[in-house]
Amino acid sequence: MVVPIKMGNYDRRNKEIDESLKRFIDTEYKKKIEDEKRGGAEVIHATYIRYGAGLQAYHSIREKALEEALKLVKGVSESTKAAEQQEKWRSVMSAAAKQSYDGLTSTFKDRDFDDFKTLIEIVALADSDFYNRMGSIPLVEAQGKVMEYLVQLKEEQKNLERKWDELAGDNASLQKKVNEVTEQLMQVFEKTLKEVQQENRLVGERLAEGVKRAGLDPSKARSEFSTAKAALDTLVASVDGMVPDGETYIQRLKDLYRTNETTVILFTQTRKSVKEFLEQTNLEKAIKMVDDAYKKSLDLANGCYTPALKEDAKYFVDDVYKEVESALDKFEDVYEDFVDKHKGIFIGPVGDRTAQDLVNRERWDWVNNEWKRLNIEGELKKIYDDSSDYWDVSLDGVPELLADEIKKDLKSDLDALSLAVRELTDWTHADAIKFLITDYPRLKLMEILNSFKG
């Protein structure tokens, strides 16, 4: 920040005017008195005294005019607009310039006092220039702009709080659905695997019993093996049914993923809009704007006609700057609060808590671990191996043609079981399954969130 010069009042110009008046009295006025003594024109002493008193009275009028002007920039409200504030300020100072000039020049109309009127004219012109210069200082508009920034920041604060509540709320509802679907999916596979394991044991038991009874009575071999075959058909159907059941839940997860993806996209769009907003409305920009306005205001002050006017103008600029700085301090407080509240969400790198709220990594890690725990591929291989062992039975005592027919049927059923197991295994390795069950949180969405560095 630019450090202003020391504060003070505006009496330097008053003293300067008093000194000018004293010089006039010491020279012109005394000269006229000497001329009168030598037979010249009579000097109206009372008029000179009255005019001098009027000039000194102007001091208080001038002081009051500047104090009234400062009221415009003291304690400005948040409804203050830069252009309107500058226009009001310019209007007040322009009126003060006219009042100053008219008030001084209209007081001295007597033709006999042209010499004194010349002094008054010089004072009036210089002071009018002072008011016009002070009416043009950009500090006032800068103050209005700071207040506009402050209001915009507060409005953006409310908007972001509302948007985040919506995003987090919608995502909490989404994650609840994700939890339900994934738990149902896991339960379906776990339950079905248990059922298939039980059916497989039942197939083995029935086959063992059938072989035993067929050995005692070969004529019953076909019917005994038909009972076991029916159990095997049920086993194959159960394995086949796992894919469509799983597909139903996977499709629901895909739909939820798209919803989650939409949430993240909306989040990224909001971050982009916040970044663009802060490029236009930020503390650094506000400070630079005020500093530049202060320097330009001092330049205007330095252009005043007399040394005293220059000094008064500088002090006046500093008094205005003090009020602008107060507005800037308010903006700084709101700005820092804004950044603090949205850091890790809409500002800077995305924080772990934000990522958790948007993607729920812990839930997807749980899904990944549960999927691995089920070990579907391993369980299916065990079921198939057990079934192959069950059907590798001796058909001694069964007529050869019937035994060949039974073995052919057994091979056909085993091939069907093998195909069902392979298809289910392939399905569990499909890209869609891997994406949704194992890689989801660490790929696309987390990559998007982790890409934000500032």
User: Based on the domain organization, do 228 and 365 belong to the same domain?
Assistant: yes
Nearby residues of 313 by Cβ (< 8 Å), 6 or more positions away: 130, 133, 134, 300, 301, 302, 304
DSSP at 343 = B
Measure the CA–CA gap between 33 and 39, rounded to whole angstroms.
10
Measure the CA–CA gap between 378 and 421, rounded to whole angstroms.
11
Q: How far is CA 443 from the centre of its chain?
A: 24
Q: Is 406 within a domain? A: yes
Q: Is 214 within a domain? A: yes
User: Based on the domain organization, do 70 and 162 belong to the same domain?
Assistant: no
Q: Is 412 within a domain? A: yes
User: Based on the domain organization, do 16 and 161 belong to the same domain?
Assistant: no
User: Based on the domain organization, do 391 and 267 belong to the same domain?
Assistant: yes
- pLDDT tens for 194-235 read 877 777 777 777 766 766 665 545 556 566 667 666 777 777
- C-beta separation of 334 from 154 below 8 A: yes
Q: Is 335 within a domain? A: no
Among the residues of 375-439, which ranges form H helices? 376-391, 400-428, 431-433
* Helix 307-342 with 45-71: angle, nearest 10 deg: 10
- C-beta separation of 446 from 361 below 8 A: yes
User: Based on the domain organization, do 176 and 73 belong to the same domain?
Assistant: no
- pLDDT tens for 19-51 read 887 787 777 778 878 887 877 777 777 766 777
User: Based on the domain organization, do 123 and 196 belong to the same domain?
Assistant: no
Number of domains in the chain: 2
Counting DSSP H helices and E strands in the chain, the numbers are: 15, 0
The pLDDT of residue 5 is 33
Measure the CA–CA gap between 177 and 254, rounded to whole angstroms.
12
**Residues 383/384/385/391 CA torsion (nearest 10 deg):** 110
User: Based on the domain organization, do 273 and 188 belong to the same domain?
Assistant: yes
User: Based on the domain organization, do 116 and 176 belong to the same domain?
Assistant: no
Q: Is 100 within a domain? A: yes
User: Based on the domain organization, do 113 and 40 belong to the same domain?
Assistant: yes
- pLDDT tens for 166-175 read 888 887 888 7
Q: Is 37 within a domain? A: yes
* Residue 45 domain boundaries: 1-136
User: Based on the domain organization, do 239 and 381 belong to the same domain?
Assistant: yes
- C-beta separation of 291 from 133 below 8 A: no
Is the pTM higher than 0.85? The answer reads: no
Consecutive sets of 10 residues in the chain, 454 residues long: mean pLDDT of each?
44 83 78 79 72 73 83 85 89 84 68 68 87 93 93 93 88 81 80 77 71 59 66 74 77 82 86 90 93 96 94 94 94 94 88 79 74 77 72 64 70 74 72 62 65 61
Domain stops at, among 136, 165, 182: 136
360 sits in the region (left: phi over 0; alpha: psi -120 to 50; else beta) called left
